Structure 1
Amino acid sequence: MNYLSVENVSKSFGERHLFKDIAFGINKDQKIGFVAKNGTGKTSLLNIIAGLESPDDGQVVSRKGITISFLPQEPDLDPSLTIEETIFAGDNPILKTIANYEKALLHMEEADAYQKAFDAMEAAQAWDFETQYKQILFKLKLDDLGRKVELLSGGQKKRLALAQMMLTKPDLAILDEPTNHLDLEMIEWLEDYFRTENITLFMVTHDRYFLENVCNEIVELENGKLYSYKGNYAYYLENKDARVAAWEAETGKAKQLYKKELEWMRRQPKARTTKSKSRIDDFAEIKSRAHERRNDHTVQLEINMERMGSKILEFHNVGKSYGDLTLLNKFEYVFKTGERVGIIGKNGTGKTTFLNIMTGALPPDTGKVIVGDTVKFGYYTQKGIAIKEGQKVIDVIKEFGDHIPLKKGRTISAGQLLERFLFDRKKQYDFVERLSGGERKRLYLCTVFIQNPNFLILDEPTNDLDVVTLNVLEQFLLDFPGCLVVVSHDRYFMDKIVDHLFVFKGDAVVENFPGNYSDFRAYEGGISNAFAKAEKEQAQLENKQKFEASITQTASDNKSWKEKQHKGALSFNEQKEHAKLEREIAKLERQKEEKQKVFLNPDLSQDEITEESIKLQKIIDDIEAKEERWFELSSKMEE
């Protein structure tokens, strides 16, 4: 069954043509990964499919009656809402189903309407919607349901938009880099969800294990043309190599034919027969095919790396805390020449703090860090490149000099260097603010590498980079002769680049694991997965029992809640309000206790005592008002 068709779509920006006359379809149960270089129109195509942009030519046709959800890189959420309110503010068909059911409960005498609403609840599995959204938010580390969207980080907003999209259970989900801002545990959970859920996907992601394990088709946009591969990422790589080899063979034949036809054209045959006219017309096409070139340049940079001495980087009894949060405690390690270390761990366990201590940007609280005299750090941070208004790409590199020194006394111009980082002459004079996210990352990498470091520190270097650039970057790093420390959520990248791991487990525990990420998962995965599964099943059971208890008239009643009269039961919104009141009352009680402790201070003036008394009375009034409403709802449950 066809869900959506892209019909001869074209898109340009000024003289820059992204793609022309491309066409493909998305069918039910397909999970398509979309692959292309940065700056070639991935996000533009996703926006066109989602209806956020209009193509220059062509059209996108979707099947009537299907639901389509789009997850952009920068979600647009209402900042005034809380996390929980955002879930209920979305255009979620399940919420409409619940509302219809509650309306039908008020008119039980209309049997047909009630049965229809009841069947809709069954079909949508809407009975445990509260359990579903809380589980998803918990997995995405969004468990403070009352927190305002305006207070969330960019990554938290992206995760909230992802949760909102997942809860709508769309027929077709369009995703732009869904794994960005997710830690490894979240990525593996999302991977499992998409692999097993009955949902059709069209997504852009740089995570190649995600492509491998989730997708059943890869679509590549290259030089304005689409190529489809009916398989996962490994199948795509194998068959792309075969396609490129066939293309090169055909190009070789075309060049030979071109030489032959060129000689014939130079002889300028006088006889203008129908056959000769046809041959002349075909010559232009042969010439075009013979002169086609693949834009497969690779990032090349001859590092003029200073030789490292015997002393590189040493940590001795290093400790670092923020208040009660201890990130490092008596950490010891001595780096050796050529070490390649990957750093993994949940967000908030101190990974970036550790990198800042390494480079001297942040002092340790205890212990000392010794840096060798010959060490020159190259630090790629998550902040990326600082964009200056009106600055062109080539101006960024010229800040380091018009000519960059290479090995053996040779130099290279700023323009030549940019060409090695896949910025052609025309692109070099684009304004930096016009670059795609991935192109800015590539430019930033260039500024880090050209300073000739012998100790590279890369904090999430793979975010927003396309798959093609990632392969190129990996090859460069594999040849890098210095020390390398990488923080990344890209499992494929880590497996290929690093030799051992620092695993930040929280509570100042840092484990030195001898192997890559896949080795680590194989070592710890069995026990942790079994524990997580049991914990999830127990939580689901408890939430289900709690929900069913809230709508059951008596605990001793053996009848199914589906068979009971709903006269005295709370509506869905009232159940939600009842649970929210319990949380708010508990929070206010804690505030009351803290405020009461203030009066123990003997140094309080009379004015301060009066001011604090007013605040305390306000808290007490709030508690009483909320308790009154809570008792009102509780008594309704017992009717």
Structure 2
Amino acid sequence: MAHLLGAENVSVSFGTRSVLDSVSLGLEDGDRIGMVGRNGDGKSTLMRLLALRQQPDEGRVTKRGDVTIGYLDQSDVLDGDLEVGQAIVGEAADHEWASNPKVREVMGGLVAEVDWHAPVSSLSGGQRRRVALAKLLIADPDVIMLDEPTNHLDVEGVAWLAEHLKKRWRANAGGLLVVTHDRWFLDEICTRTWEIHDGVVDPFDGGYAAYVLARVERDRMNSVIESKRQQLVKKELAWLRRGAPARTAKPKFRIEAANDLIADVPEPRDTVALSKLATARLGKDVLDLEHVSLAFIDPDGSTTDRNLFNNVTLRLAPGERLGIVGVNGAGKSTLLRLLNGEIEPTSGTIKRGKTVKTAILTQDVKELDEVANKRVIEVISSERSSFEVGGKEVSAGQLVEQLGFGPEKQWTPVKELSGGERRRLQLLRLLIGEPNVLMLDEPTNDLDTDTLSAVEDLLDGWPGTLVVVSHDRYLLERVTDHQIALLGDGKLRGLPGGVDQYLELRHAMPAAGTNQPGSPAGKADATESTPEAAPQYSEAEKRDARKEINRIDRQLGKLTQQAQKLHEQMAAASDVMKFDDLGPLGEKLKAVESEQELLEEAWLNAAEIVGD
């Protein structure tokens, strides 16, 4: 594979803190790399360096002369005075871009519902993000770098972006580098993972799930990661094995490789025990919406004839864990406000149990403005000195540390916290107030993957009713037991098939916005962007594929045993310093791993035919 760009011994410091310390790495043709790490560990800094948008303090960044880079920043860089069409295609005439099927696909996938002639300044955060992505993707850079591309995108937008990136290049062409907290997105598109921590970058093969497994193995072998973090990672891995239906199609050899690591890890939640606790705290009645309708409200405060909700009924049970997905503007946040008692319905009734105490984590976290000058530990201690998590009592300091506020950060004024730190702190404030109905509106915004695991671990032991609005399907599958959808028609729809069913429903709906004046979908032939139907296989082909899967499973089992013996032999040779033996053993191991990779690819191809 051809070299695209790289870093040689780069170092970056901010004040007295070293963010990157003599880091060397490279991006090759065909690489699809996800970057993970804690907030502030240097993910965005490393991406800016590789994009040649920042200079290192030491070392250098190299780039092949003809390589072009497309870069999506976290911040909004669009000119608010431009119309949407100008922001995306500049002064190009309609026929120039509309004749390109690749451009039409991007337009149809991202901005079909956006008014082509609206000023950028009038758009919502999600619409501006879609416009910025469309502008980047209609170009043809060799390397695409995306810094939190899923921020402000709904579930459907995230799914479209993942599918587009998977088929954008040939297998060994182009390069992708992405920073995101969306673990489903990482698993869907990435073939390698870079973990940035403590000034260094550790590479791993595979997406997020493979990275979690490899990190557990590394931590166990080296015994260098503290036990608390290791248990969190193991619990996350346990979820990968026992969790969402979307992950049960993982190859058997991957699941079996994880079993030894997590055999002693309990289920993420003891649902029965939590339900009993929730019933004791809440009683039988929690929150019921019965035949509720709510009219749209114009900016001037007057109501309209069109309902945001139309005769909907929703009943929350003690200990229920409900996820909400839906299109932008369908009323997800408004539904939380209805449940929280902040707004009254136009018609219908809302029943609240006598002991119900609600709390809501909003998207903007303005609730912390009143304590901006206080320090983190002071904010928590003033609320409550101790808290019960999973049946154990912990101090305010221990709880603060569990969500990533170390001894130094605990004494940081709130006004100096980053966006992710502010969300963590507000969540802690809510939990310490001991609500029995907790509502989270896009809780994953600005949080890194390690912090998300800690938040999920905290929620696992929380006995109460939980309602989560999120575009992060990994989080929804992880912390909620069932989901409902808001499709913009004023109704609530159950999703027994989870997020996958929601996406199927959206694909089956008429394309919203295609008849909107000025929208790109109205100017281009929409048939060009229609995805091809999945191939249909006969029963005979499926039977053959099942036999092939069984055969491959047996072969992979043998190869796994061979690899394990070779690892043991290499460890033994290293212990007695027979270094001459390591070379031949390493070659044998490499050959075994190559054969495993070929078989794994054959397994996945056969699984696709079977349709499991």
TM-score by length of 1: 0.66
Return the alpha-carbon distance in structure 1 between the equivalents of residues 331 and 509 of structure 2: 27
CA spacing shift, 1:433–1:3, aligned 2, 3 Å: farther
Cα distance in 2 for residues equivalent to 1:412 and 1:36: 26
Counterpart of 1:446 in structure 2 is 428
What is the identity, as a one-letter code, of the residue corresponding to 1:180?
N
Partner of residue 8, structure 1? 9
The residue number in structure 1 matching 2:360 is 379
Q: Is the 8 A contact 1:503 1:510 kept in 2?
A: yes
**Cα deviation digits, residues 4-23 of structure 1 (max 9, x gap):** 11111222222322231111
The residue aligned with 2:380 is: 397
Contact 2:104–2:524 under 8 Å retained in 1? no
- 1:522-571: CA deviations, max 9, x gaps? xx46x936987xx99xx989836999xxxxxxxxxxxxxxxxxxxxxxxx
Q: In structure 2, do the counterparts of structure 1 residues 546 and 351 end up closer, same or farther at CA, with 3 Å as the change threshold? A: closer
> Letter of the aligned partner of 1:400 in structure 2?
E
Using the TM superposition, give the Cα deviation of residue 347 of structure 1 relative to its aligned residue in structure 2, in angstroms. 0.8
Superimposed CA distance per residue, residues 464-509 of structure 1 (whole angstroms, 9 cap, x where no aligned partner) = 2111122222222233221111111111111222222221122212
How far apart, CA to CA, are the structure 2 residues paired with 1:407 and 1:26? 43
Pairs within 5 Å for 1:56-71: 56-71=57-72
Pair 1:296 & 2:229 matched: yes
Q: How does 1:11-160 map to 2 (within 5 A)?
A: 11-89=12-90, 128=98, 133=103, 135-141=105-111, 143-160=114-131
CA gap 1:176/1:407 in 2 versus in 1, 3 angstroms: closer
CA displacement, residues 130-183 of structure 1 (integer Å, 9 cap, x when unaligned) = 765565344324531111122223332222111111111211111111111111
Question: 2-side partners of 1:460 and 1:22: how far apart?
Answer: 34
Shift, 1:194, TM fit: 0.2
Segments of 5+ residues of structure 1 without an aligned counterpart are 103-125, 252-291, 548-639
Do residues 491 (structure 1) and 491 (structure 2) align? no
The aligned counterpart of 2:450 is 468
2:211 paired residue among 231, 236, 240: 236
Letter aligned with residue 106 of structure 2: I
Structure 2 counterparts to residues 442-591 of structure 1, below 5 A:
442-518=424-500, 524=504, 528=507, 543=524
Q: Please show how residues 318-467 of structure 1 align to structure 2 within 5 Å.
A: 318-322=292-296, 323-385=304-366, 386-387=368-369, 390-400=373-383, 403-404=385-386, 406=388, 414-467=396-449
Question: Distance between the aligned counterparts of 1:308 and 1:442, measured in 2?
Answer: 25
Q: 1:392 to 1:138 in 2, by over 3 A?
A: farther
Measure how far apart 1:395 and its partner are.
3.9
Shift of 1:89: 3.9
Report deviation, 1:420.
2.4
Which residue is equivalent to 1:580? Answer: none
Contact 2:32 2:191 in 1 (8 A): yes
Aligned partners of 2:189, 2:472: CA distance in 1, in Å? Answer: 15
- Kept in 2: contact 1:329–1:508 (CA 8 A): yes
User: Per the alignment, do residues 541 and 183 of structure 1 end up closer, same or farther by CA in structure 2, a change over 3 Å counting?
Assistant: closer
Report if aligned partners of 1:314, 1:371 keep a CA contact under 8 Å in 2. Answer: yes
Question: Structure 1 residue 167 and structure 2 residue 138: aligned?
Answer: yes
Contact map agreement 2:389 2:461 (CA 8 A) in 1: no
The more displaced of 439-448 and 311-320 is: 439-448
Deviations 1:293-323 (A, max 9, x none): 57828899xx998811122111122110111
Alpha carbons 1:298, 1:421 under 8 Å: kept: no
The equivalent of 1:180 in structure 2 is: 151
CA gap 1:399/1:515 in 2 versus in 1, 3 angstroms: farther
Q: Counterparts of 1:544 and 1:336 in 2: how far apart (Å)? A: 47
Q: Give the aligned partner of residue 268 of structure 1.
A: none
- Number of corresponding residues: 464
Contact 2:89 2:97 in 1 (8 A): no
- Identity percentage of aligned residues: 35
Task: Provide, for residues 370-423 of structure 1, a one-character-per-residue CA deviation record: whole Å limited to 9, x for no partner.
Answer: 11111111211111253465543334324525x345589998654443222221
Gap change, CA 1:395 and 1:11, over 3 Å in 2: farther
Q: Name the aligned partner's letter for residue 87 of structure 2.
A: T
**Letter of the structure 2 residue corresponding to residue 343 of structure 1:** I
Is the 2:484–2:492 contact (alpha carbons within 8 Å) kept by the matching residues of 1? yes
Aligned to 2:542: none
C-alpha contact 2:390 2:461 (8 A) present in aligned 1: no
SS at match of 1:324: strand
Aligned partners of 1:372 and 1:202: how far apart in 2?
49
**Matches of 2:176 and 2:228, distance apart in 1:** 29
What CA distance in whole angstroms lies between the structure 2 residues aligned with 1:515 and 1:374?
A: 33
Compared with structure 1, are the counterparts of its residues 352 and 528 closer, same or farther at alpha carbon in structure 2 (3 Å cutoff)?
Answer: same
Equivalent AA in structure 2 for residue 74 of structure 1: S
Change (3 A) 1:350 1:541: closer
Cα separation, 2, equivalents of 1:407 and 1:39:
27
How far 1:369 moved relative to its partner? 0.6
* Conserved? CA contact 2:403–2:451, under 8 Å: no
Which secondary structure state, in structure 2, belongs to the residue aligned with residue 369 of structure 1? strand
Q: Distance in 2 between matches of 1:174 and 1:511?
A: 36
Shift in alpha-carbon separation, 1:189–1:19, aligned structure 2, 3 A? same
Distance in 2 separating the partners of 1:89 and 1:196: 26
Quote the Cα distance in structure 2 between the aligned partners of 1:155 and 1:541. 21
C-alpha separation in 1, matches of 2:38 and 2:422 = 13
| Alpha-carbon offset, residue 28 of structure 1 | 1.5
The structural deviation recorded for 1:47 is: 2.3
Secondary structure of 1:425's aligned partner: coil
The residue identity in structure 2 corresponding to 1:46 is M
- Deviation (angstroms), 1:56: 2.3
After TM superposition, the score normalised by the length of structure 2 is: 0.69
CA distance in 1, matches of 2:289, 2:405: 39
Q: Give yes or no for the alignment of 1:218 onto 2:201.
A: no
Matches within 5 A, 1:308-327: 308-322=282-296, 323-327=304-308
> Relative CO higher for 1 or 2, CA cutoff 8 Å, sep ≥ 6?
2
- CA distance in 2 between partners of 1:466 and 1:417 (Å): 18
Counterpart CA distance in 1 for 2:144 and 2:390 is 53
Alpha-carbon shift at residue 229 of structure 1 (Å): 1.3
Structure 1 residues 162-211: Cα deviation after superposition (integer angstroms, max 9, x where no partner): 11111112111111111111111111111110000014111111112211
Structure 1 residues 202 and 546: CA distance shift in structure 2, 3 A: closer
Name the CA distance, whole Å, in 2 between partners of 1:79 and 1:215: 33
Say what the alpha-carbon RMSD is for the aligned residues. Answer: 3.5
User: What secondary structure does 2:282 align onto?
Assistant: coil
Q: In the superposition, relative to structure 1, how do residues 370 and 206 fare at CA in structure 2: closer, same or farther (>3 Å)?
A: same
Q: Quote how far apart the aligned CAs of 1:127 are.
A: 6.5
Instruction: Give the Å deviation of 1:219.
Output: 0.8
Distance 1:11 1:127 in 2: 41
1:448/1:217 CA distance change after superposition, 3 Å = same
Aligned partner of 1:589 in structure 2 is none
Whether the 8 Å contact between 1:297 and 1:420 is mirrored in structure 2 is no
State how far apart, in whole Å, the 2-side matches of 1:543 and 1:368 are: 46
Aligned AA for 1:453? P
The change in CA–CA distance for 1:146 and 1:130 in structure 2 (over 3 A counts) is farther
* C-alpha spacing 1:505/1:407, structure 2 compared with 1 (3 Å): closer
